Homo-oligomer: A and B are copies of this chain.
Amino acid sequence: MEDEVDRLVAAWRTERPDLDTEPLHVLSRVSRLARHLDRARRAVFAAHDMESWEFDVLTALRRAGPPYELSPGRLLRATLVTSGTMTNRIDRLQSAGLVSRNPDPQDKRGVLVRLTDAGRTRVDAAFADLIDRERDLLGSLTADDRRTLADLLRSLLVPFDTDPTG
């Protein structure tokens, strides 16, 4: 089977035969797949009246374990967004009653964002559905393939996740 990237690389081979476009086979697929994934996730979250950005923040808090509390700084590093964006997200989640803002007793500059019970219920339901949907999307791969794929992707990701310059 052929995908859009095969066609894209073939076109480049015609138009720029002087360049070695082999890296596109991996990296353009990563970008395009991520884009499609975003849409698939949006569809899952819509069933829970939730948006992707809400899910990203709420899951970060949920993963932290009781008392489901993280600073805005840790949240923005976990979700790869800027500080202004995170302030805005927390504002809206707070208005929706899904998180609360509490002063950090250790650091007077700091704030701790905590998941409310309502927030926890919402995110747990959405997460279970998301996992199911993602399992569907991986349906065409064997367990071995999935492991191989995960390992290869990890080796590309490690430099980014290690080096703080990102």
Contact = CB atoms under 8 A, between A and B. Distances in A.
Interface string A124-166: 1001100100110110110001111110111111111110001
A114 to B, nearest CB: 15
A96 interface: no
Copies of this chain held together in the complex? 2
Q: What secondary structure prevails in chain A residues at the interface with B?
A: helix
Given A37-B30, A37-B31, A149-B26, A140 B159 contact: yes
A23 interface: yes
A36 interface: yes
Nearest to A12: B63
Contacts of A30: 30, 33-34, 37, 153
Interface residues of A, number: 65
A36 to B, nearest CB: 4
Interface in A22-50: 22-27, 29-39
Interface in A53-102: 62-65, 80
17 contacts: A1-B162, A2-B158, A15-B65, A16-B124, A19-B131, A23-B137, A26-B146, A27-B137, A29-B150, A29-B153, A29-B154, A30-B34, A32-B160, A36-B160, A137-B159, A140-B155, A149-B149
